[in-house]
Structure 1
């Protein structure tokens, strides 16, 4: 099997490489520079990204270095008191990560790099600058300038993770639509003691909202980070001006030390196409959006959730290449319209506080689901039915395209099992039925499609179903999903629901075949 070629070793490229490694797909990842970026960049990792890191094997390493945040608050400028907080604890049954984490990007990337370098499926090649590429029958050929001269590499597909000024996108001739706003953001990392010497009760992620002047405050594991807007024509502030600006928000403190700073422009620019034959655009190469609400990096990771499993199914021979078409169809509206609108709404909300323009009421559960990116509903059918925003006060019935909650059940061996663990590297068919009546649940003979009956009754040893039965104590999962007995829920390897239909013979197998364009391969089940 030829490797997948990945251009760009930023967070999206590295995460995509880990995704391919997880599915056993060989890869080569190329980085133009001699080292990873040390710039002060994105610093908040959302829950959905943590779920991807769990699947790809790096969540524990990330959490070891990160600061967990279960409250996202707003602070009144006049009183310096937090209010209107988002409490992610309401999601504790929905995910094993009911929090977001703060970790600077230049601390995240070495963790991802170390995992990539340990993956036997591929290699990371530094100081390899892409010169050109071409598609050929059955693959791609890419040419790079390297420390050893110009070299060519052959691969099955080429993934462009090379940022907002993507060489791959430019050589594909793909236009970019959107705007660059006449505003800049100043991001500053400061060493200041707001815990002991100058105690403040700020949430670890907080928004100072004000009509005249706003700022975002982020408690990083080793410092405090401050982000605020800078007019497009304003001069670059001095260190003393930065210090004075911060003190206007937080009040006097004993000592402030500047650790790093960066100024960047605000964009909302989307590539018109995300695929040209065997070439795919990902992350900033496909969509460059304002980073409000931490949507920049985390929206890119949504791409790294969607594409690797599709490539794996095709390269294993388990799916028709048409499965790859769903990547752009599902992810493009999320980034172009959903994330962009959310980010711009957040930016507008920050700037309008204090004026007679109250924000729309958002319920606690729905707000937490939205802000952690757990609430993304993909347009799986191509009908235009998708969403990123949840306004419900409590979980509504499950819909096709939504991420299935990572509920805790009890598996065939009696041990607790998380739902997302069952869907790792396979489609999952869940049959909600009374196990006492011995429903006809297929045996698990395929590594691509697994079957389980879900019931509040434990499967007797003589029922013939013990090896594929999940105990749902009190019908907790069934009630959360809002489905009656007699329902089949088919879940894809990215945790998104592909179908909710009545149970019928061969129904799961037929649905699977219609999605991937092939029948499930037979063999020992994973």
Structure 2
């Protein structure tokens, strides 16, 4: 019997392994620059079970940049904030959120992940150079060639498939085949708990405050949130000896969700999922091996207490996407890619530690800790500092790397350009990102000496009028309060350089 030889490797610009939100976002970012991208995904269609349910306004902004922001608005539900309750469901404190930021995007957005994945998949149809290879399983990567990487796959019919590209972005999840093959270990940040995740569909409105409920129970911590018009999620810490099988029927599950569904008959509750998850806090020790980059859960996993798991993955995709496009198109040297891990790894680790600490405060300890929470939480809830920490959706500035100039004032260095709405070409108000496009730009106050700009700075400009529209006034005030006259903004809206009003340097 003769064996059919493997097909020759098909050349691409980038291979993305994993077709979840991180991989699809990375592909869309690269496709916007006309690059040929292959997305390798073992599932033929969007994964049908709900997983992530929250993203913040900064990541909502990324969805707008990818071109799906308006469509996502029809799929999402703003969350009212956070309420802490004790083991008897008595309110300890409520931290209500503002409904939206100055850019018009809610600070906390609940959604069903399969809806988002379908939206991102449909969005890729706008980029003819991007192809999603559904039903393809990654077997291994061949990294022996110094100029490219070959991905060996198993096709839907079992036949071998080989793809070749200068770069690979591994977005294949916490159990990443790529990370395992490369021998990249985890750095454990000290959190490991077994939880039960329950998703229910119910056509009746549950009589509960329309925000996230955190049950600070020393016996069994729990979380409740409304995800959509008829979708609800609960998460409960599993006790020793318990398994999801103990709660796989609605009568058994009512022992946990009963306080929220009293009076709702079983036939009105559709149990979508009841599964065990281990909440961990981990970061990959390195995010790059030659021409292979890790992103999303392949690079970091976080406890869900501040809802930043999916957010971190989309931040990775945005950060790496435009940089890889710049290198492949000859607009930047390969050293720009070094800034990906330099910037993203400390940021991700900071957010994971924040989630870990919040989880430990809300769920840790025994009766003594429970008593302390009952006494201290109502007092702390009146603190503006505590409320800012819990509710402020702004994330830390990125660590200066090869693209963020260290001499840039700390007031803006590595931070995001504020998202405001400005008059568009037709006079309508649009997000500032739409005006800037997929390019590096300078945002400046009037009177900046443009003639002094060196060749290395971008030629795209946005001058804001301090007496103009509300958005312009907000940007002008922000520049003045930061004591700068101009900022250089990269395609991910990170401020990489800034200077005084007189001369650009």
Question: Into which bin does the TM-score normalised by the smaller protein fall?
Answer: 0.7 to 0.9
Query: Which residue, 257, 281, 292 being the options, matches 1:246?
Result: 257
State how 1:215-226 maps to structure 2 within 5 Å: 215-221=222-228, 222-226=230-234
Residue in 2 aligned with 1:476? Answer: 474
User: CA 1:244 to 1:287, structure 2 compared with 1: closer, same or farther past 3 Å?
Assistant: same
List runs of 5+ in structure 1 lacking aligned partners. Answer: 387-396, 459-470, 508-526
- Tell me the matched-pair count: 476
Residue in 2 aligned with 1:276? Answer: 289
- Corresponding position: 1:134 with 2:132: no
- Corresponding position: 1:119 with 2:132: no
- Corresponding position: 1:19 with 2:32: no
Query: Which residue, 188, 206, 211 being the options, matches 2:218?
Result: 211
Cα deviation per residue 1:289-327 (whole Å; 9 max; x = unaligned)? 212221211111110111001011111111011111111
Q: Are the aligned partners of 1:194 and 1:200 in contact in 2 as well (CA < 8 Å)?
A: no
Q: Are the aligned partners of 1:404 and 1:496 in contact in 2 as well (CA < 8 Å)?
A: yes
Query: Which residue, 42, 46, 51 being the options, matches 2:61?
Result: 51
SS at match of 2:282: strand
What displacement does 1:482 show?
Answer: 4.0
State how 1:93-492 maps to structure 2 within 5 Å: 93=102, 95-135=103-143, 136-148=145-157, 149-178=159-188, 181-192=191-202, 195=205, 200-221=207-228, 222-236=230-244, 237-238=246-247, 239=249, 240-247=251-258, 249-250=259-260, 252-256=262-266, 257=269, 258-336=271-349, 338-352=350-364, 354-356=370-372, 358=376, 371=391, 373-381=393-401, 398-410=411-423, 415-434=428-447, 439-440=449-450, 449-456=459-466, 475-483=473-481, 487-492=485-490
Cα deviation per residue 1:239-265 (whole Å; 9 max; x = unaligned)? 233212111x33722324223212111
Deviation larger for 290-299 or 327-336? 290-299
What displacement does 1:443 show?
Answer: 10
What displacement does 1:400 show?
Answer: 0.8
What displacement does 1:478 show?
Answer: 2.3
What displacement does 1:230 show?
Answer: 0.9
Take 2:401 and 2:383, find their aligned partners in 1: how far apart are those partners? 28
RMSD: 3.4
SS at match of 1:346: helix
Take 1:30 and 1:215, find their aligned partners in 2: how far apart are those partners? 36
What displacement does 1:410 show?
Answer: 4.0
What displacement does 1:188 show?
Answer: 0.9
What displacement does 1:275 show?
Answer: 0.8
TM-score, normalised by the number of residues in structure 2: 0.84
Q: Are the aligned partners of 1:430 and 1:454 in contact in 2 as well (CA < 8 Å)?
A: yes
User: CA 1:474 to 1:263, structure 2 compared with 1: closer, same or farther past 3 Å?
Assistant: closer
SS at match of 1:38: coil
Q: Are the aligned partners of 2:25 and 2:314 in contact in 1 as well (CA < 8 Å)?
A: yes
What displacement does 1:449 show?
Answer: 3.9
Query: Which residue, 4, 25, 33 being the options, matches 2:14?
Result: 4
Take 2:294 and 2:227, find their aligned partners in 1: how far apart are those partners? 31
What displacement does 1:448 show?
Answer: 5.4
Residue in 1 aligned with 2:3? Answer: none
What displacement does 1:405 show?
Answer: 0.9
State how 1:476-515 maps to structure 2 within 5 Å: 476-483=474-481, 487-503=485-501, 507=505
User: CA 1:87 to 1:181, structure 2 compared with 1: closer, same or farther past 3 Å?
Assistant: closer
Deviation larger for 361-370 or 33-42? 361-370
Cα deviation per residue 1:441-472 (whole Å; 9 max; x = unaligned)? 689999954123323257xxxxxxxxxxxx67
List runs of 5+ in structure 2 lacking aligned partners. Answer: 1-10
Q: Are the aligned partners of 1:87 and 1:364 in contact in 2 as well (CA < 8 Å)?
A: no
Deviation larger for 311-320 or 72-81? 72-81
SS at match of 2:371: coil
User: CA 1:373 to 1:20, structure 2 compared with 1: closer, same or farther past 3 Å?
Assistant: farther
TM-score, normalised by the number of residues in structure 1: 0.81
Cα deviation per residue 1:41-89 (whole Å; 9 max; x = unaligned)? 1211222221111100112222212222243333455465584223133
